[in-house]
Structure 1
Amino acid sequence: MPIVHALLFGATAIIGRILVARKRYHRELSFSNGDSVQDLVARCFYLWLPIVDGLFLLLSCLTGNRGPVLIAIADREWVRWIGVACMAISLASVVVSQAAMGAAWRMGVDLAERTDLVTAGPFAFSRNPIYVGIRGTMLSQLLVFDTWPMLNIWVISELLVHLQVRFEEAHMRRLHKQRYVDYCARVRRWL
């Protein structure tokens, strides 16, 4: 089930949005091969983490070997089903949030383009609902694959998402100034 989710997530949350972005004539991937910390974090978060995560899921599904279990309680079937349900909710959250962003959606920070400040829909409850969905997905995978390798992937994803959000929020503050500061005062970063 997690490999199916990963494929659905990739197809709807990433590839689908890139196709929509191309029709609207803007750069959908807003990070480069530059030497800045911001570019490195974006590459790790948007490129290398999904590759490592996808390979782990694929190998686990193909071999049936998940690796050493973290704790015995997490090795129960009902915990895995909670994880699967959370994956579905997280995927839906990401898709709805990306749709709410419309033409403002990007992967990374693009200093050359001005985007709208989206504050409606899911963005009325969280400044980063897409990242909340991604965090939910990674936590769900940890519930399904309760192993040390998945714990490492989850920890790295948490570190990267926190760094990426900081870069994006600093960019939004520069771009939208007081309007963004007021938005931050009303709406929490996560939930």
Structure 2
Amino acid sequence: MSFSRGKSVRDFVARCFYVWLPVVDGLFLVFYGITGERGQLVAQAFDNEWTRWVGVVCMAVALIWVICAQATMGTAWRMGVDSRTRTELITTGPFALSRHPIYLGIRATILGQLLVVGTWPVLLIWALSELLVQIQVRFEEEHMFRLHAQRYADYCSRVRRWL
């Protein structure tokens, strides 16, 4: 993990994204799993079997995608921005399709969870996750520009942020 208990905006966003969001999401899922109480649905579309199956498929594909992306990164994988360690620029595998395939997988996982559960708490978790991931990737891109300069700029011109 490459974030601290510092007071910078970067550290705060990283703690929210990597610690507090998973804690809140996990507690909700445990509560849901134990009680079966989903809460009020966001819309009737979330009360359909096919919507839940699309969500399950989305989460399964996202899991495989994230595992492949993390394996491709190898020793360059970090949580957060690590300005102390110089890492190589990974541009192969899932990184040839997306500059942030791990975050893309996380986004797909939370979207899948929203499709499966479909309640207001999960909608709020999804919205917060989307906000935090958008901020975090910009911090990481800024770091990669400092680290890899023109090589990263060339990579950005070839590969989209998401897909």
**TM-score where L is the length of structure 1:** 0.85
Task: Give the equivalent residue in structure 1 for 2:89.
Answer: 117
Residues 1:48 and 2:20 aligned together:
yes
Task: Give the equivalent residue in structure 1 for 2:139.
Answer: 167
Any unmatched runs of 5+ in structure 2?
A: none
Residues 1:84 and 2:56 aligned together:
yes
| CA distance in 2 between partners of 1:94 and 1:73 (Å) | 28
May I ask how many residue pairs the two structures share in their alignment? 163
Residues 1:93 and 2:47 aligned together:
no
* Greater RCO (Cα-Cα under 8 Å, separation 6 or more): 2
Task: Measure how far apart 1:48 and its partner are.
Answer: 0.4
Task: Measure how far apart 1:77 and its partner are.
Answer: 1.2
Residues 1:59 and 2:28 aligned together:
no
Identity %: 64
**TM-score where L is the length of structure 2:** 0.99
Task: Give the equivalent residue in structure 2 for 1:130.
Answer: 102
Task: Measure how far apart 1:74 and its partner are.
Answer: 1.5
Task: Measure how far apart 1:73 and its partner are.
Answer: 1.6
| CA distance in 1 between partners of 2:82 and 2:59 (Å) | 29
Task: Give the equivalent residue in structure 2 for 1:38.
Answer: 10
Residues 1:181 and 2:128 aligned together:
no
Q: What amino acid is the match of 1:112? A: R
- Root mean square deviation, CA, Å: 0.5
Task: Give the equivalent residue in structure 2 for 1:20.
Answer: none
Q: What amino acid is the match of 1:55? A: L
Any unmatched runs of 5+ in structure 1?
A: 1-28
| CA distance in 2 between partners of 1:151 and 1:114 (Å) | 37
Q: What amino acid is the match of 2:34? A: L
Task: Give the equivalent residue in structure 1 for 2:111.
Answer: 139
Task: Measure how far apart 1:175 and its partner are.
Answer: 0.2
| CA distance in 2 between partners of 1:73 and 1:123 (Å) | 33
* CA deviation string 1:60-119 (max 9, x = no partner): 111010111111121111111111111100000000000000110000001111000000
